[in-house]
Amino acid sequence: MSRLATGWVSIHPLRRTWRLHISAKNSPRALLIRKRLRIQFGSWRKDLLITHKRPSPHTIKAKIRIRSQKNRYTIGPLIGILTVAGGGRFRGVQSNFIDIIETGRKKGAFVYVVPIENIDWKSKTVQGYLFYSKEKKWIKERLPLPHVLYNRIPNRMFEEQAHVKAALEQLSTMRNLTLYNPQFFNKQQLYAALQRDPDITPYLPQTVTFTSKAQLYHMLSSYSFVYIKPVNGMAGKGIYRVQKITNGDYLVQYQEQDDTVSKRFSSKGEVWTYLAPLIKHNYVIQQGIDLATFDNKLFDVRLLAQKNGRGEWEVTGAGIRLAGAGKITTHVPRGGSIQPPEDILMAAFPHIAPRHLLTSVRRMALRIARSLEKEWQTLGEVSMDIGIDKNMNIWFIEANAKPGKFDEPHIRKLSLQRIVEYAQHKAKFIEVGES
């Protein structure tokens, strides 16, 4: 049976000397008497000088775990943040990458950035990027393919490139390597997957692929309003709201930058004539939900579910996204704002304790995460938008397989910890009883 000890790895940014810093208190005696430790990952080998001193502040350093089995040692987990090359080094939100690296450094994981184009498939190594926090700069270094790759390819355009798709396929089949998360969700595929789960269907607004005039007419006859959304849309971009108003006219609304544009039509035919050139392909049409409001503004619950250090789904946090005045969606880039759940829910539903509503939302979110995992087996985290209508019914609205960071500090902190803890679990660098 393997045992875990803890230590620190440090790398001098100029000399590139690697050291393993261990304490006499928690390290195997066989390791304490060594002067060097050779670490090997495939064809990548590195001799670590063993020292009992603390790492120098002038080095790149990370707390790591040391696994011993039959007098053989490995260190880890090694976590790669997977992205694509470009922009001088790599693409993606560097501040987010740094937060993950720093969390790993404190919690026990060696984290670096892995651009797909920098992978040497023959040697199973990569020209990766380490972050030197003292000087706030990136250091390029030959590194092994890690135990876990956290997929942060920044958008669908890069994800659809042939070499990226081929690399993702190859990485997903490699032994001793865990790749998560899957590709960006497609709304059409997302709803099709959820509609196959009878436990989830009561929470789903009717959502169909938008293919014809007859379909638009049917949905407008069935519901008081509908949303027309791009299959691969993000942040509320390209969404249209169509509503039948009191005198039989129809109101079409969409958001352009910070403004809500409204256009009025006297018939469904006029609506179709207007929308048809704008919606050429890859859209869904969805039943509108009469969401609860606060101060006459729509709101929904943005929630993050992640796998923990036991590989189990947990809700990391939830917050309210409140639409701007007159806005048709709650997205923050479209004028929405972030609000504490308890205050908004108490005002909108004064006859029920906010914690009861939030408990119901969290339970539903966990069911959805488990259901999505059946379709996308490498799913390790997912953010969701959950709506609550004026009758307190709960509705699934949207999910994102590549969640952006939550601005609420307590959610952000826990989300970073869970990225590291899940990697420790998948790489088997976690003690029994840890979570």
Question: Could you tell me which residues come within 8 angstroms of residue 6 by beta carbon, excluding any fewer than 6 positions away?
Answer: 23, 26, 63, 64, 65, 66, 108
Cα-flanking dihedrals φ and ψ of residue 359, to 5°?
Answer: -60, -45
**Tens digits of per-residue pLDDT, 211-230?**
889 999 999 999 999 999 98
Q: What's residue 1's pLDDT?
A: 44
For residue 220, give the nearest of 244, 238, 241 by alpha carbon.
244
**Tens digits of per-residue pLDDT, 333-378?**
666 788 889 989 999 999 888 899 999 999 999 999 999 999 999 9
Mean pLDDT of 204-214: 89
Label residue 204 by pLDDT band (50, 70, 90): very high
**Tens digits of per-residue pLDDT, 148-183?**
999 999 998 999 999 999 999 999 999 889 999 988
**Tens digits of per-residue pLDDT, 364-423?**
999 999 999 999 999 999 999 999 999 999 999 999 999 988 989 999 999 999 999 999
Q: What's residue 335's pLDDT?
A: 67
Q: What's residue 236's pLDDT?
A: 64
Share above pLDDT 70 across residues of the chain, in percent, rounded to a whole number:
96
Measured on CA atoms in the order 352, 355, 360, 364, is the torsion positive or negative?
positive
Q: What's residue 24's pLDDT?
A: 74
Question: Residue 305, Cβ neighbours under 10 Å: how many?
Answer: 26
Q: What's residue 326's pLDDT?
A: 72
Q: How many Cα atoms are found within 13 Å in the side-chain-facing hemisphere of 302?
A: 24
In order of 118, 152, 347, 376, the CA distances from 181 in angstroms are 20, 8, 37, 9
